[in-house]
Structure 1
Amino acid sequence: MKIKDILSSVKKLAPEEFQCSWDNSGLQIAGTASEARKVAVALDPKPETVAQCLDWGAEVMVAHHPLYRKPVAPNAEGPYLDVLRRFLAAGAWLYSAHTSLDSRPDGPAFWLAEHLALENTRFLDVEHRFPALEVSFLPSRPLRRELAEQWAENPGVHAVSQTRAGEVRIICDRAAWPEIRGSVEFALQESQEYYVRELQSPALETGIGMVGDLPEAMPWQAFTEKVTSALNCRGWTECGPIADTISRVAFCGGSGGSLISSAARLGADVLVTGDVKYHPALEADIRVMDVGHFSLEEEMMRRFANELAESLDSVEVRFFEAEDPFSFHEK
C-alpha cells in the first residue's frame, strides 16, 4: 500500500487540525520507502521500541508522543539522534498522532467513558470549534430524491434539501465538504458554482478530557475497582476531598493536573488522570485519582491500532506494547 494512502488514513483518524496550538502532531521523519506492508503503532518513539518496530519490518511507525516539540539539531548523542539514525537507515516513516488523536470527539482517547458507560458527556477543555457549512448550488436538472438521501447518509452531513426553484442546499461539517463535493460532481456529471456560508451552529467541537454522569452513583471503593479493573497500572495516588458517592466523573489521558478546577466547575466528583503535581494536589477541591500517564494512553493506542487496522485492509498493523517507566514500592 502506498505510504501516502496510509498517512491519509491516519490523518482521518487523527485530523491534524484538531491538535492543540502548542503541539507537533504530524509527520516527524519522512522516509524513502514509497510503499508499506507493515505499520507499527506504539505509545512512544523511544529507541528500544523503534528498534522492535523496525526489526519487525515496519515501513511506517505511528507513535502517540512526538519525537520532538520544536526542531532539534541532530548534533549530540542521545535517544533523539539514535531514533533518527535508525529511521534514516531503514528508509522508514515516523508519524505522531498526539493531541490530534486526544481531541477527536469519538476517538479512543475517551475509552474510559465507554468503560464507565458515562452519559451526558462533554469536553473538559474545548480546544477548537469548527462551524458547519451551508453550501448552495443550482444544478441543471432537478435532484432525484434517492440521490439526496444518498448524500444525506454521508458522515458529516446534517441536511440536504432542494427549493422549488431548483437550488440545492447541503449543510455539512467543514471537513466533510471536499468528499461530498466529489460525490456531487460525480453523480451529476457536471461542475457547479457553489455558494458557501459558515454557520454559527451546528458546530463540531474538539477538546481535551471529558466529564459525564455514571448510570448510577457508586461508592468510592466500588468506583476505584471499576476504574482500575480496566487499567494496566500497579497502583495510583489520590488527593483532594473524597465524596461519599461518585455520580459525575471527569478524566483526561496523559497529564491532566491543570484540569482539576475545570472538572470541579463542571460538577465532577472525581478526576481520573495522570502526572498530578504537588501544588495542584494541595489545591484540589475534588478527589483526584492519579493513575499515571502511561496506563490511560497505552490502552488508547491499543484501541487506535485496532481502528487503523480496520481502515487499512492491505497492510499488517501491529501494536507494540511498552512498560510503564514508573514502578511503585511499598514501605
Structure 2
Amino acid sequence: MKIMDILAIFRNLAPERNQSSWDNSGVQIAGSVSDVSQVAVCLEPTPDMLARCLEWGAGAVITHHPLYMKPKGLGAESPFLDVVRLVVKSGAWLYAAHTSLDTRPNGPAFWLGDSLKLENRKLLEVEHGVTPIEVSFYSEEPISRETADIWANNDGMHSVSQSNTGEIRLVCDESAWGEIAGGIEFSMGRKPVFYTRQLTGPRDEVGFGEVGVLPEPMPWNDFADLLGGLIDRDAFTVSGPKPEMVEKVAYCGGSGTTLVGRAARAGADVFITGDMKYHPAVEADVCVADVGHFSLEEEMMRLFADELAGALDGAEVKFFKGEDPFRFHVVNR
C-alpha cells in the first residue's frame, strides 16, 4: 500500500487541523519507503518500543505521544537520537496522532464514556469550534448533474445547488474551501468571482474529555468497582470529597488536572483522569479518580489500532502493547 495513501487515512482518522496549538501531531520522521505492507500502532515512541515495531517489519509506526514537542538537536546521545537512528536506518515512517486523536468527535479517546454508557454527553473543554461558509457565484450555463456530483463529493462539502438565475450556492467547511475552489476553477476552465460569508450554524466543536450521566445512579463503592474493572491497573488514587452516590461523571484521558474545575462546574460527582497533581488534589471540590495516564491512553490506542485495521485494506496492522512506567510496591510494616 502506498505510504501517501496510508498517511491520508491517518489524517482522516486523526485530523491534524484539530490539534492544539502547542502540539506536534503528524509526521515525526519522513521515511524512505514508498510501499508499506505492515503498520505498527503503540502509545510511546521509545527506543525499545520502536525496535519491537521495526523488528516485526513495520514500514510505518503510528504512536500517540509525539517524538518531540520542540525541535531537538542530534549532537548528544539521548533516547531521542536512538529513535532517530533506528527509524532512519529502517526507512520507515514515524507518525504521531496526539491531540489530533484526543479531540476527534466520537473517536477512541472517548472510550470510557462508551464503556460507562454515559448519556447526554457533552465536551468538557472545547478546543475550538468552526461553522461552515456559504459560497456563491454565477454561471451562464447550467452545471451538469455529473459536475455537481463531483463537487459534492469533495471532503468538507455539505451542499451544492443552482438557481434558475444561474447562481450557484455551495456550503462547505472553511478549511476545505481552498482545495474545492481549485477544483471548481479547473472544471469550469475559468476563475469565477466567489462571494463568501460565514454561517452561524451548525457549529462543529472539538475538544477534550466529556461529562455525562450514568444510566442509573450508583453508590460510590459500586461505581469504584465498575471503574476498576475497566482499567488495566491494580489500584487508583482518589482525592477530593467522596460522594455517597454517583450519577454525573466527567473524564479526560492523559493529563487532566487543569480540567478539575470544569468538571466541578459541570456538576460532576466524580472526575476520572490521569496524572493528578498534589496541590490541585488538596484544593479539589469534586471527587477525582486518578486511574493513570497509561491505562486510559493505552486502551485508546488499542481501539485505534482496531479502527485502522478496518480502514487499511492493503496493509496489516498490529498493536504493540506497552508497559505502565508506574508500578505499585506494597510496604511491609
TM surpasses 0.5: yes
Aligned amino acid, residue 228 of structure 1: G
2:242 aligned residue: 242
SS at match of 1:301: helix
- In 2, Cα distance between equivalents of 1:309 and 1:55: 20
Q: Deviation of residue 230 (structure 1)? A: 2.1
- In 2, Cα distance between equivalents of 1:76 and 1:151: 51
Aligned amino acid, residue 123 of structure 1: L
Q: Deviation of residue 155 (structure 1)? A: 7.1
Q: Deviation of residue 192 (structure 1)? A: 6.8
- Over 3 Å counting, the alpha-carbon distance change for 1:8 and 1:153 in structure 2 is closer
Aligned amino acid, residue 105 of structure 1: P
1:143-189 CA-to-partner distances (Å, cap 9, x unmatched) read: 68999799879875555544343423232333455676689789x87
1:172 aligned residue: 172
1:136 aligned residue: 136
Question: Residue 233 of structure 1 contacts residue 291 of structure 1 at CA under 8 Å; is this kept in 2?
Answer: yes
Aligned amino acid, residue 34 of structure 1: S
1:284 aligned residue: 284
Question: Residue 273 of structure 1 contacts residue 292 of structure 1 at CA under 8 Å; is this kept in 2?
Answer: yes
1:257 aligned residue: 257
1:201 aligned residue: 201
Identity of matched residues, %: 54
Aligned amino acid, residue 65 of structure 1: H
Question: Residue 124 of structure 1 contacts residue 262 of structure 1 at CA under 8 Å; is this kept in 2?
Answer: yes
Q: Structure 1: give runs of 5+ residues left out of the alignment.
A: none
- Over 3 Å counting, the alpha-carbon distance change for 1:68 and 1:184 in structure 2 is same
Q: Please identify, of 277-286 and 215-224, the stretch whose mean Cα deviation from structure 2 is larger.
A: 215-224
- In 1, Cα distance between equivalents of 2:87 and 2:3: 15
Question: Residue 138 of structure 1 contacts residue 192 of structure 1 at CA under 8 Å; is this kept in 2?
Answer: no
TM-score scaled by length of structure 2: 0.89
- In 2, Cα distance between equivalents of 1:150 and 1:216: 48
Q: CA RMSD in A?
A: 2.6
- Over 3 Å counting, the alpha-carbon distance change for 1:291 and 1:200 in structure 2 is same
SS at match of 1:168: strand
Residue 67 (structure 2) pairs with residue 70 (structure 1): no
Aligned length: 330
Q: Please identify, of 141-150 and 208-217, the stretch whose mean Cα deviation from structure 2 is larger.
A: 141-150
- Over 3 Å counting, the alpha-carbon distance change for 1:191 and 1:250 in structure 2 is farther
Aligned amino acid, residue 135 of structure 1: V
Q: Please identify, of 70-79 and 231-240, the stretch whose mean Cα deviation from structure 2 is larger.
A: 70-79
Residue 219 (structure 2) pairs with residue 219 (structure 1): yes
Residue 314 (structure 2) pairs with residue 314 (structure 1): yes
TM-score scaled by length of structure 1: 0.90
Residue 34 (structure 2) pairs with residue 14 (structure 1): no
Q: Please identify, of 176-185 and 299-308, the stretch whose mean Cα deviation from structure 2 is larger.
A: 176-185
- In 1, Cα distance between equivalents of 2:108 and 2:174: 22
- Over 3 Å counting, the alpha-carbon distance change for 1:144 and 1:214 in structure 2 is farther
Q: Deviation of residue 43 (structure 1)? A: 0.2
Q: Please identify, of 112-121 and 277-286, the stretch whose mean Cα deviation from structure 2 is larger.
A: 112-121
- In 2, Cα distance between equivalents of 1:37 and 1:3: 9
Residue 236 (structure 2) pairs with residue 274 (structure 1): no
- In 2, Cα distance between equivalents of 1:155 and 1:91: 31
Q: Please identify, of 54-63 and 217-226, the stretch whose mean Cα deviation from structure 2 is larger.
A: 217-226
1:81 aligned residue: 81
SS at match of 2:213: strand
SS at match of 2:201: strand
- Over 3 Å counting, the alpha-carbon distance change for 1:311 and 1:189 in structure 2 is farther
